[in-house]
Structure formats: C-alpha cells, structure tokens
Structure 1
Amino acid sequence: MHTILIVGTYDTKAEELEFLAECIVGQGGQVCRMDVSVLGDPPCPVEIDKHAVAGAADSSIAAAIACDDENAAMQIMARGAALQAARLQAEGRIHGVIALGGTMGTDLALDVCAALPLGVPKMVVSTVSFSAMIPPERLAPDIQMMLWAGGLYGLNDICRASLSQAAGAVLGAARTVQRPGATRPLVGMTSFGGSILRYMHVLKPALAERGFDLAVFHATGMGGRAFEALAAQGAFCCVMDFATQEVGNHLMGSGISAGPERMTAAGRRGVPQMVAPACNDLVDFIGWQEVPPALQDRPVHAHNRLLSSAVLGAEERVAVAKALADKLRQATGPSVLFLPLLGTHEWDRPGAPLHDPEGLATFNAALRAACPANVPLRAMNCHINDPAFCDTVLAQFDAWLKDGTIRV
C-alpha cells in the first residue's frame, strides 16, 4: 500500500482535502493528513495536527497566533511541515505528497516539496500554478504542479476534475516511480540539444562502459537550477559542466537564468568538476518576447518560438570570462577548465552563421588571463564538437578514476 501525505489548511479547505483523500483511497491508496492551519480547527480527524506541525519548528500555535501576522505565522507552519514531511518519508511512512492551496498554501507547499528527496512524487495543486510569482529557485527538481481552476472556494465540477486528476497522478507516480538508487555512480553534465552540442553522444556510452551513469541537464535556466540543487546534495561523483552559458545569461540580465549561484554547488561541496565554456558568446532570451533593447544592435539566432540567442560583443565576452573564472576560484575540490580554442558550439564553426574568429580570440585570451591558480587550464586546438574534445575529457576522467579523485 502506498501512502500519500495530504497537506493543507483543514480549517478552511477540509471539503476539498477530503475529496482528494477519497480519490486516493478509492484507487487503493492510503493517506496521511497534515493540517497546517493556524486559527481554526479541522472538522475531521487528521494524523498530523497543527500543534505537531508548529512543534516541529520549535514553536507553537499560540506563538504563531501571537505573531499577529499571517506571513510570519505561515512561515512557522512551513518550517514545521517541511521537517515533518522529511521525517515521515525517512521513516517510510509516506511515499508521495500532495498539497493544496492559494498563495499561502503554495508558499508552504514549496518548502515541503523541497524537503523531500528526488524520486518522491510531489504534486502541488494551486490557484497560482505556473505563475511568475513563484520563484524558480524554490521549485524542487521533480515537482509537479496543476492549476486549481475554479477552486478558490468550495467544491464544484471543475474543481473535482482537477483534484481527481491530481490524486490519480500522485498515487500513480508513487506506485510506478523508479527512485534513483546506488546501482551505478552518477556523473552530472550540462549541455544543449544535439543541433548545437555533440559531446554527450560520445561521452554517455563511454562512461557507461566504465560503469557510470550520466545525467544530462538542459542548461536553459531550470535545468541549471536542478543541476546545482543535485550537486549541492552530493548526487554526483563528478560533474562535466560544459554548458556554462547560464552564467552569462544571468550576468546580462536574461530571464533565462539559473540564478546567481550557478556553477558554485559542485565547487563548494568539493565534487571533482570539469568545466568548459560552451556557447560563451551567446546570451539567450525569451523568444516570444521583444528583443531586449540592449540586444537589438547585434546578430540574433531564433532557435525556436520559445528561445532566441543574441551574440555578445567583445567587452561582454571579457566580462563572461571573468565571471566564469570567479566561480572557479571558489572551488574547494579538484577542478579543471577545458578551453577548445576553435569554437564552443555548432553555430560558430567557419561558414556557420555566427562564426566570429576575432570575438572567439578575445574570449579565449580573457579566459586564459582570468583563470585562477587553483584550476588548471587545458587549452585544446579543436572545436568543442570535435572528437579531440571528448578524448581529452575521458583522459582526465580516467586519470581521476585511477588516482581516487573520483570515488565510486
């Protein structure tokens, strides 16, 4: 039997939460109810009451009420709910979580989901799902969200349709999920699609032959955030962070950003890291929006209707090189920087639309000059999509494997 943790304010949304419970139980699952309300009491029994939730945060309902501020009170409940959920999961008492709410409930639900490990199904049904008010950095790497359409107050046919789907989704996920295990050590990699970067096609089977699994993260903002979150948790035995363009995106104010902490988690944790500057000459922006004023005087490549890329000028490339070097300077573990001198994506090859040998030379010189003393720089007379790049990467991987730098 799989048990789903149901999280919500049972003083105001008991009818909707109990409908979720009925759907889950009706499909052969079990439920554990967690009440995160503050002022009222639930009209039905709950397994984890509000006093236990507040107590887990070293506080109390009385203290939450005494705050006389709903935001401060709900943050007490969010801390307690996250700790309670993590404990229940560690003890094997729950196998997934579903949370329900508006802005207050969603704020709390994000903390609960972030407290649970990758592979534990996490479903948030919210009136503000997919809203710009939800900070990307607060989204757990495998969170699922559903818009709670027509559900602000009370049950109705539209609301039942959404809630029943969500209940089936989280229970089905709990039944079928293959959680990450320790069958093979995991290497984390960043990249873009095969039309622009090719190294993963060679490196994935080569690493598999050596007994390693490879997880490739799409470096378009959310992928980079997930990569950093898992690196911080120690999910990787080694990282191959070759698509570092998100650093430049953030530096240039792009909305396609992995945040200011991009390219720091592995270094802080001491995870062996290999770094390369793929697409260092580009800044991505949201394709369906107008070209930002600061990027209107330069070549632009429309990758699709969602994403476009603008070419950086010489001074901007120097700034990106220095930003990458600053990130590497913080590394506490073994690190190496690969610099393919002949280009870093398929669009910058000779004859390709974004070929710019002078701009490339400017970036290469700036990165050579800025590279910190704690990180060896391996300049290669090849393009990042050439076989020689993968050969060099695998040689470094094998050396680290042989001397015990990469622990398996």
Structure 2
Amino acid sequence: MTTPGVDAARERLTELGYEVLVFHTSGSGGRTLESLAEQGLFAGILDLTLSERQVRLHNPSITVIRTTAAECAELGRGVAAKLRAATGPTAVCLPRRGLCTLGGPGAPYHDPHADDALFTALRDGLRGSATELLEFDTHINDPAFGRAASEELHRMITAHRATAGEGRAA
C-alpha cells in the first residue's frame, strides 16, 4: 500500500528521461524483478515496498500483513546484508513517518516501535559499508519522498555512467 509514493517516484523518473517499469509486490512481481536485474537489464532499481505482517484484508485478492518489531529487526538485518553484498552503487532512503498507507500516524498499522526496529537494524547493518543511508522526515507516500528517492537513484546512475565512461576512455 505504497502506490502514492511509487507514483510520485515513477513520475519524477519519467521526467528525468527514464523508461520506468513498476513491479507489484503481490504475485510473482518480485521474482520477475530479481530475474531481470540478475540479467543486468536495468540502469537502476528503486524499491519502495517492503512486505508487512499483521493481517488486514486489502481487497478480495490481497491480504496485507503488518510486521512485528522482532520481524522488522530481522527484515532490516536481511536487507542490510543484501545491500552490503551489492556490487554497484546503493542507497537506502528511510521515510521516518510511515512505510505504507496504513502505517502513518493514526492509521491501523502505525507502530513506531516496529518501524524503529527496522531502521535501527538497517543503520547497524550498513555501518561501515559503501551503502548510503538517507533519512527523510516524510511518509513513504508523501510525493516529496518519492521525488527525493528518484533524484537519489538518478544521481547514482549518472555518477556511475560518468565513472564507467571515463574508465573506457582512459
């Protein structure tokens, strides 16, 4: 339930000249994304949606689940481990005011303790790594967050292309 944030990011990346593909977390979208990424078919990947726990019926086809604090900590450690192993430029953008439509203040999945467990595990797991950690005082669905995450991806792609181009010219 991050559609507004994803839409803002998609719009900004399109404005920057990228052809954007959106993969949904429901169904086999994640496996398809990983398969295409392993083939080197993307200039970059912007993933704004981590799965939740605590069951909630989103629609007749999708049930949303909110993670507990312990599960968030485990998820943060797992994400950090994957990012530490990345061979290209990587960054994590943390929206400190909520991670999904249901996770903002006053919403049913608002759980600052669980979110903080995720963020702390990410911070700890990425300490000393090449992965940049950027924190934003926004909700994930705030258009400003989607644009900022898109700008960060664009910056990394542009810097990587410039470095790769210089390497070939030398």
Q: Secondary structure at the match of 2:138?
A: coil
* Bigger radius of gyration among the two: 1
Q: Give the aligned partner of residue 197 of structure 1.
A: 3
- Evaluate the alpha carbon distance shift between residue 398 and residue 313 of structure 1 in structure 2; reply closer, same or farther with a 3 A threshold: closer
> Percent same amino acid at aligned positions?
31
> What TM-score does the superposition give when structure 1 sets the normalisation length?
0.37
1:350 paired with 2:105, answer yes
In the other structure, the counterpart of 2:148 is 392
Structure 2 unaligned spans of 5+: 166-170
How far has the Cα of 1:349 moved from its partner? 0.9
* CA distance in 2 between partners of 1:361 and 1:199 (Å): 20
Residues in 2 aligned to 1:223 and 1:305: alpha-carbon distance in whole angstroms: 19
Residues 381 and 218 (structure 1 numbering): CA distance in 2 closer, same or farther, change over 3 Å?
Answer: same
- The residue correspondences of 1:266-281 to structure 2 (distance < 5 A) are none
Distance 2:88 2:101 in 1: 31
Q: Per-residue displacement from partner, 1:213-264 (whole Å, max 9, x unpaired)? A: 100001124001110111111211111122233xxxxxxxxxxxxxxxxxxx
Return the letter of the residue paired with 1:242: L
Counterpart CA distance in 1 for 2:152 and 2:48 is 14
Conserved 8 A contact 1:346-1:385? yes
- TM-score between the two structures when normalised by the length of structure 2: 0.83
Q: What is the rounded CA distance, in whole Å, between the counterparts of 2:6 and 2:66 in structure 1? A: 24
Task: Give the 5 Å matches for 1:58-77.
Answer: none
C-alpha deviation, 1:309, in angstroms = 2.6
Structure 2 distance, partners of 1:312, 1:216, is 24
Superposed CA deviations along residues 88-122 of structure 1, whole A, max 9, x for unmatched, are xxxxxxxxxxxxxxxxxxxxxxxxxxxxxxxxxxx
Offset at 1:324?
A: 0.8
Q: Which residue of 2 aligns with 1:329?
A: 84
Report the Cα distance in structure 1 between the residues aligned to 2:157 and 2:126, rounded to whole angstroms. 24
What secondary structure does 2:23 align onto? strand
Distance, in Å, in 2 between the alignment partners of 1:380 and 1:313 is 22
In structure 2, give the amino acid aligned to 1:230: L
Distance 1:345 1:215 in 2: 20
State the AA in 2 paired with 1:233. Answer: Q
The answer as to 2:39 corresponding to 1:220 is: no
Q: Deviations over 1:298-326 (max 9, x none)?
A: x4211123332332222121111111111
Query: 1:305-316 maps to which residues of 2 (within 5 A)?
Result: 305-316=60-71
Cα-Cα RMSD: 2.2
Q: How many residues in Structure 1 have an aligned counterpart in Structure 2?
A: 163
Higher helix proportion (structure 1 or 2):
2
Please tell me whether residue 377 in structure 1 is matched to residue 133 in structure 2.
yes
Unaligned runs of 5+ in 1: 1-194, 246-281, 284-298
Match of 1:206 in 2: 12
Higher strand share: 1
Shift of 1:404: 4.2
Give the secondary-structure state (helix, strand or coil) at the position aligned to 2:65.
strand
Partner AA of 1:383 in structure 2:
H
Residues 196 and 347 of structure 1 are in contact (CA less than 8 Å); yes or no, is this contact kept in structure 2? no
- Structure 1 pair 401–306 and aligned structure 2 pair: CA distance change class (3 A): closer
**DSSP 3-state at the match of 2:26:** coil
Higher relative contact order (CA 8 A, sep 6+): 2
